[in-house]
Structure 1
Amino acid sequence: MQSGGDDDRKPRGIRTRLVNSGRVPFDHHGFVNTPIYRGSTVLYPNAQDFMDRKARFTYGTKGTPTIANLEQSWTELSGAAGTVLAPSGLAAIALALTSVLSAGDHMLVTDSVYRPTRNYCDGILKRFGVETEYYDPLIGAGIEALMRPNTRAVFTEAPGSQSFEMQDIPAIAEVAHRHDAIVLVDNTWATPLYFPPHERGADIAIEAGTKYLGGHSDVLLGLVSANERCWKPLRQTFDAISACAGPEDAFLASRGLRTMPVRLAHHEKAALEMARWFEQRAEVLRVLHPALESHPGHSIWKRDFFGSSGLFSVVFKPVSTAKTHAFVDALRLFGIGASWGGFESLVLPFDCSEYRTATQWNPGGPCIRFHIGLENLEDLVDDLERGFAAMTKA
């Protein structure tokens, strides 16, 4: 891409920046996309350059042009000091936590957190001498009462995984920073497009690039971005562990980045339409979607977020497990799967009650999580009608 003189200093819109960020085509013979670099060994022209590590890339675990392209782009999008890539979303969570915690530390984690995060805290971190305490996701500035002298970190996630509670992250961050604690946020649902994590008070932001960044259900990737305070220890931890993302996954994620705003806008619009459709159904008790005016956390979402994604949950009026499963099993366009963020619609029954510890999960009926993909909505409605008919007959 060629310089445009003074025009290069004009502020550019987010879609323009995402189309152009990280791209250096004339470093790659003019090809539009940075190609996939696979490799471990990097050669040096002479002994002194090797001793001084005088090279842009020094070894495969330290980065490649493919990796650097995505790291730079995500750093710009997130408003961060730097970004590292991990081989999955959960690996990104583990990397982020490892970079800030030590034996003897106390950490506060939202009770609505992604369950594998809880498993890591209650298993690995506990074994290494880190104490995790779970808190009510609606606590806001009341988190002050839980802070201790050794509280090192607060782990947030908004909205809550599956249950979709909205956290007041700016209020939590204000309290945490007064106590010199680090604030982490799992920002996978909104992505930095719809929730600017560092601007809202997060020191470290974690996203599963497996979801909307990849966008096609064929990538395993995690991203961790950090502000100036946390960037150096994050990078040092990454270099020490060398849990590297695969080159093909990084390439596919960079490709997905260019179209993520367009896809996410469609997911948002379609999911809101479907959520409002569910609200009108006699079988439905309530819909858990923060962008709906009926959601208890709607005001926080409206204040802090620029948009919503394609994922939400529905609470049915009380029916048997057999009827709930009949509904799910009758669907043809909604796959039954644990991930989301791809082009296809998904459905997943869930129950948070067995692992909540700081709060009680009593939604009033069986719960089902939906991801709305890129299909025609009238076809999805027909499919859901089939599910409700099957539920009635079961």
Structure 2
Amino acid sequence: MKKDTRLIHAGRSKSYTGSVVNPPVVRASTIVFDTFAQLKHATQNRGNRVPFYGRRGTDTHFALQEAICELEGGAGCALYPCGAAAISGALLAFLKNGDHLLMVDSAYEPTRSLCDKLLAGLGIDITYYDPQIGAAISSLIKPNTRVIFLESPGSLTFEMQDIPAITAVARQHNIVTILDNTWASPILCKPFELGVDISVQSATKYIVGHSDVMLGTASANEKHWLQLREHSYLMGYCASADDAYTALRGLRTLSVRLKQHGQSALKVANWLAQRPEVETVLHPALPTHPGNSLFQRDFSGSNGLFSFVLKQGSQQQVEAFVEGMAHFKMGFSWGGYESLITATMKVQNLRSATTWPYSGPLIRLHIGLEDVEDLLADLEAAFSRFNQAS
């Protein structure tokens, strides 16, 4: 099946849907059995989409897990209450005291906080690495290196990583690779085809698509699925059936939403590139982006999230820019139908292995599904406020 068709049918086998279109919401904690033989069968197959206990999942969860595997290509998918939980669950499934983790320097800020405030305290050695290091990551590997964590593109500064080059080195050393694939969603990048072992996503973002559910997923290849599944279960990770149902519903429109997000974002990005106040636009689909060749090779499309850097700007000017927007809302997260805006004055504070080359403020946009002309007018007014505040 082609991508768009697969999105419609993934996770909709009759064993989940019966005679209706969507898998019903099955809420449960206790699963009851009529015979000891049935209980024994469920116990022995509790990891194979057989109802056993609510935390293991119901048919609603199984349908979503199956759909994510169909779309991403993994051997199995674990569900978590949010994206940050999926990241911590995946890392803790493969790391222990005394192990070494290679973490990309451009990682999502909560991922860095997890490393510095929790993993380090558990006795895990962490080295941050340049996202553009490629195969040279071999020089950072230690005898106790167990995991390499990637995020491509970086969700704030949008560096592209050479995923196949890094995963090839990791395989040579029997190191687990984990990729935060949230930006691409399940359809713009195929991480397992690029050699990744674990693909993590904040389903809160594009999978759900409506800014009303917290949910995370982690898919694994055959070699690592059992360990990811069992360790995540031991740590108590699970998600509600209602949230799984909402994510399944979001999947059905994912492709058409991403096409609109991507088309509008490119229009805005090209418009921003012509502004005299803008130093650079950090959008990997632009030919001017230093990682564009990697983007063209590994990704099938783009979405609505990117950043741009101003040539200069005081705190007062940046506040004038982001306040008073008609359509862009200030808030964290992204991937919903609405446009969002955030600003960062000092990117260097969020990295340690690399030097940020720009001195001006960084503004991140998520381009929603509004008419792009209205969004451009909103940004035009923002630049006017910015210049008047100087």
Tell me which interval the TM-score lies in, with the shorter structure as reference length: over 0.9
Count of residues in correspondence between the two structures? 383
Matched, 1:252 2:241: no
Deviation at 1:80, TM superposition (A): 0.6
Q: Structure 2 CA distance, aligned partners of 1:97 and 1:25?
A: 35
Aligned-partner SS, 2:85:
helix
Deviation at 1:25, TM superposition (A): 4.6
Deviation at 1:271, TM superposition (A): 0.5
Amino acid at match of 1:372: I
Q: Structure 2 CA distance, aligned partners of 1:79 and 1:52?
A: 28
Deviation at 1:29, TM superposition (A): 4.8
Deviation at 1:52, TM superposition (A): 4.2
- 2:16·2:63 contact (CA, 8 Å) conserved in 1? no
Aligned residue number for residue 8 of structure 1: none
Aligned residue number for residue 219 of structure 2: 225
Aligned residue number for residue 44 of structure 1: 33
- 2:204·2:216 contact (CA, 8 Å) conserved in 1? yes
Matched, 1:388 2:377: no
Aligned-partner SS, 1:77:
helix
Matched, 1:13 2:2: yes
Deviation at 1:233, TM superposition (A): 0.2
- 2:347·2:362 contact (CA, 8 Å) conserved in 1? no
Aligned residue number for residue 143 of structure 1: 137
Aligned residue number for residue 9 of structure 1: none
Matched, 1:123 2:117: yes
Q: Structure 2 CA distance, aligned partners of 1:346 and 1:222?
A: 21
Question: Mind listing any 5+ residue stretches in structure 2 that lack a counterpart?
Answer: none
- 1:345·1:375 contact (CA, 8 Å) conserved in 2? yes
* Dislocated runs of 4+, deviation >4 Å: 25-29
Aligned residue number for residue 181 of structure 1: 175
Amino acid at match of 2:364: R
1:106-158: CA deviations, max 9, x gaps?
01011000111111111221122111100011111110110111110100000
Q: Structure 2 CA distance, aligned partners of 1:76 and 1:52?
A: 26
Amino acid at match of 1:381: L
Deviation at 1:28, TM superposition (A): 4.6
Aligned-partner SS, 2:290:
coil
Deviation at 1:23, TM superposition (A): 1.0
Q: Structure 2 CA distance, aligned partners of 1:26 and 1:105?
A: 42
Aligned-partner SS, 1:45:
coil
Deviation at 1:49, TM superposition (A): 2.4
Aligned residue number for residue 259 of structure 2: 265
Deviation at 1:27, TM superposition (A): 5.4
- 2:16·2:59 contact (CA, 8 Å) conserved in 1? no
- 1:330·1:386 contact (CA, 8 Å) conserved in 2? no
After TM superposition, the score normalised by the length of structure 1 is: 0.95
Q: Structure 2 CA distance, aligned partners of 1:371 and 1:387?
A: 15
- Which residue, 342, 353, 357 being the options, matches 2:352? 357
Q: Structure 2 CA distance, aligned partners of 1:129 and 1:194?
A: 36
The sequence identity of aligned pairs, in percent, is: 47
Matched, 1:313 2:292: no
CA-based RMSD of the aligned residues comes to 1.3
Please show how residues 185-334 of structure 1 align to structure 2 within 5 Å.
185-334=179-328
- 2:99·2:144 contact (CA, 8 Å) conserved in 1? yes
